Amino acid sequence: MASFFNINSQYLVPVIVVVVMIFYLWWKQQDVYHLKDRFKNEKIIFKAHGTYFFGFESESGGLLKSSGQIFLFKDKIFYKGRFDGREVLIPKEKLMYIAVTDHHKEKPLYWKSLAFYFEKDGKVERVAFMIPYSKQFVDALKLHFEEGERRIPIREELW
């Protein structure tokens, strides 16, 4: 066994790297497969892996840093945390406006993020996400969420 690692060790590292990459890609797609089972007849318009969710403004405590994926459907925004299983669903009808922000829960964020204001239980709620390719996400959102006279304003909330 020891002679195997000594003779062919130059192949061991590349093989391990390839196996780890294949496993990572498989693991990353598992959420998408489960989501397709949950929302059977709905088309995913936009998805972004590596999204960070910083929590609801109304929740007590500090900033969350939940890592996961955000999905844009034609009638909703859905976030699913990878490790903590948190889920956020923002229906199209409830979305009021979007803000580009660098703070959440009165604490600074280290990068610009998107804050979504929407109606929840008769109150205005705010959630913040750091979304990769956020410009493309907002463009797709505006394309599918704005109908007729309805417009979704985008504001800046920078400190």
Tens place of pLDDT per residue across the chain (159 aa)? 555 555 566 778 888 899 999 998 888 777 777 777 788 888 889 989 889 999 999 999 889 989 999 999 999 999 999 888 899 999 999 999 999 999 999 999 988 999 999 999 999 999 999 999 999 999 999 999 998 888 999 999 988
Assess whether 46 and 33 both reside in one domain.
Answer: no
Supply the pLDDT for residue 39: 83
Long-range contacts of 119-125 (CB under 8 A, 24+ apart): 119/94, 120/94, 123/58, 124/96, 125/56, 125/57, 125/58
Assess whether 63 and 15 both reside in one domain.
Answer: no
Assess whether 47 and 124 both reside in one domain.
Answer: yes
Contacts of 94 (CB under 8 A, 6+ apart): 118, 119, 120
Domain that holds residue 24: 1-38
Supply the pLDDT for residue 26: 87
Assess whether 34 and 74 both reside in one domain.
Answer: no
* pTM over cut 0.85: no
Identify the CA nearest to 57 among candidates 121, 116, 100: 116
Assess whether 127 and 149 both reside in one domain.
Answer: yes
Assess whether 98 and 128 both reside in one domain.
Answer: yes
